[in-house]
Amino acid sequence: MFQTLKSYQFLFEELVKRDFKTKYKRTVLGMAWSVLSPLLHLLVMRLVFTRFFGRTTPHYTIFLFCGNLVFSFFSESTNQGMTALTGNAGIFTKVNVPKYLFLFSKNVQCLINFGLTLCVFFVFCALDHITFTWRFVLLLYPIGCLVLLNLGLGLILSALFVFFRDMQYLWSVFTQLLMYMSAIFYSVDNYSPKVQRLFLINPVYVIIKYFRVIVIDASLLSWHYHLLMAAEALIAFGLGCWMYKKFNHKFLYYV
Amino acid sequence: MSILEARNVSIRYITGDFKDIGLKEYVMRRLTGNYHVTEFWADKDVSFTLERGEMLGIIGSNGAGKSTLLKAVSGIMVPTEGWIHREGSIAALLELASGFDGELTVEENTYLRGAMLGYTRKFMDEKYDEIIDFAELKDFEERPFKQLSSGMKSRLAFSIACLVKPDILILDEVLSVGDGAFRRKSEAKMREVIAGGATTILVSHSLPQVREMCSKVLWLHKGRQIDFGTDVSGICDRYQDFLDGKLML
C-alpha cells in the first residue's frame, strides 16, 4: 500500500496542482471567494435566525459558524468528489493508475479551503471573547473523522455517479435534507432525550456538536462519543473502499 | 518463460439501456421489466505468446478488437475469460492526444502526462527541455493547452511518451504522428526505443510497416483470432488478399 502510494506521489502532486489551478483559474479572487462564500452564508443565517434562536443560545454567531464550517466542508467535498471519476475518464481509460487518486486530489483541494475558513473561524472566536484553551487541540480529532467521512462518501458517490448520472440531483436533495437535520441554526436542547439521541445517527451533526462542546461550552465529551464518531466515519470509508475494489474494472464500461 | 503470454482471452462488453439513464429511470425500468442489456464479445479466445525482444504486429480491420485487447494486456481491463501473464514493467501508448487538460499550460500538461506515464519528477526536470525541443513547442510553453492545434497536441504527446523505457511497449497507431517532417523524426525515435530491447506490440494499419518491423503477427477479425505466428509475410499476404476481397472469412 505505502509502496504504491510512494510510486504515485508525483502523479498525485500533479493532480492536486491541476485541480487547484483549474478551479481558481489563476485568479486571486477565486481563492478569496471560496472563503467569502461560507462567510456570506453565515451572515444570512445570522440575520434570519437570530430572532428565533439567537436569544436563548449563547455565542449564537459562533454556534452558527461551527455548523456552517463543518457542513460547508462536507457538502463541498462530497459534491466535488462525486465527479472525480467521470471527470478523469479520459485518463483512467488510457493509463493504468489507481482511480482513488482522483478523488483524493479533489479532497486535498477542499481541505485547503476548509483550513482557510477555519482560520477565519478562530478570528471570529477571538472577537466573540471565547477563551482559547488546550482543548482546542482536540478539534483535530473531529477534523480527522470529517476528512475520513468525506473521503468515504466521495468514494461511494463518485462510484455511483458513474452508473447513475442523476446522482447529482438526488444528492443535492439529500444534502439539503441533511442540512436541516444537522441542527446548524437551532439547538436540539428542546427535544426529548430520545429524539436527541436520534440526531447522533447523522455523522455531520456528531461532528458539529463536538466543535460546539469544545469551543463554546469549553468542556469535553465522553470516550463513547469519540468512538461513535470514528465508527461512523470508518463505516463510510470502508464502504467506499469496498465499492472501488468491487467495481474497479467495471467503471470502464460506463464512461 | 515468455515475457508476455495470453491464453484464451475473451473480453465481453455490455451494451444497451444501462448508460446515462439514471437511478430513477433504472428503478422504473426494472419494475416494468423494460430493462435490457445485451452482451457483446469484443475479443473471443485470443491466445499468443511473446519472448523478450520480439515485436508483435496486430492487424485487422476496424472493430476487430485490437484496442480492447491492448487494454487488457496493459491491465486497464481484465479479461472476462482466460488470463494474461506479463513480466516486467509495461507502457501503453494508446490514443495519445486524449487525457490532456485544456486549461493547463503546455508545461503543466507535460509534467502531468509524465507523471501519468510513471516518470519521476527528477527525470522530468532533466528531460523537460529535450521534450519541448523535440515537440518544437519552444514558444508555446506558457500557452493554455486548448489553444494548440491538434497536430501540436499529438506532437507533444508523442515527445513525452517516447522517453519510456519499459520491458513491454504497446504502440497503438502512434508511429504516424504529425506532418511529414515530424513523422519521419518520430518514426526514427520510435525505432530507437524499440531497438533499446523492449518487447513491443504494434497496432498498425500500414502493412509495409508490419512486414518490415515485426517478428510475429496476430490477425484479428470481429474479435476472433484468424491467425497468429512467425510467418509474417504469409499472414500479411493473406490479410492483403482479404482486404482486396479475394479471400472471404
Q: pLDDT category, A174, cuts 50, 70, 90?
A: very high
The pTM (predicted TM-score) of the whole model is: 0.89
Interface confidence, given as ipTM, is 0.83
Which residues make beta-bridge pairs with B50? B4
Length of chain B: 249
| Average pLDDT score, chain B | 86
Task: Summarize pLDDT for B48-72 with one digit per residue, the tens.
Answer: 999 888 889 999 988 888 888 998 9
Neighbour tally for B75: CB within 10 Å: 14
pLDDT higher than 80, residue B98? no
Task: Summarize pLDDT for A178-204 with one digit per residue, the tens.
Answer: 999 999 988 888 899 999 999 999 999
Sequence-distant (≥ 6) Cβ neighbours of residue B51 within 8 angstroms? B2, B3, B199
- Give B170's DSSP letter: E
Q: pLDDT category, B96, cuts 50, 70, 90?
A: low
Task: Summarize pLDDT for A109-147 with one digit per residue, the tens.
Answer: 899 999 999 999 999 999 999 989 899 999 999 999 999
- B154: enclosing H helix or E strand: helix B150-161
Say whether A166 and B22 touch across the interface (CB within 8 A): yes
Show the cell assigned to A60. 449564537
Say whether A164 and B98 touch across the interface (CB within 8 A): no
Q: What is the mean pLDDT of residues B191-206?
A: 82
Show the cell assigned to B149. 492545434
Q: pLDDT category, B159, cuts 50, 70, 90?
A: confident
| Average pLDDT score, chain A | 90
Q: To the nearest whole angstrom, how far is the Cα of B92 from the nearest Cα of chain A?
A: 7
Q: To the nearest whole angstrom, how far is the Cα of A101 from the nearest Cα of chain B?
A: 11
Sequence-distant (≥ 6) Cβ neighbours of residue A32 within 8 angstroms? none
Q: What residue of B is the nearest CA neighbor of A14?
A: B112
Task: Summarize pLDDT for A52-98 with one digit per residue, the tens.
Answer: 876 778 889 999 999 999 999 999 999 999 999 999 988 888 888 89
Closest of A123, A85, A120, A44 to residue A252, by C-alpha: A85
Interface of A with B (CB under 8 A): 7, 10-11, 13-15, 17-18, 21-22, 25, 90-97, 160, 163-167, 170, 249, 252-254
B18 close contact with A: CB closer than 8 A: yes
Tell me what pLDDT residue B152 has. 85
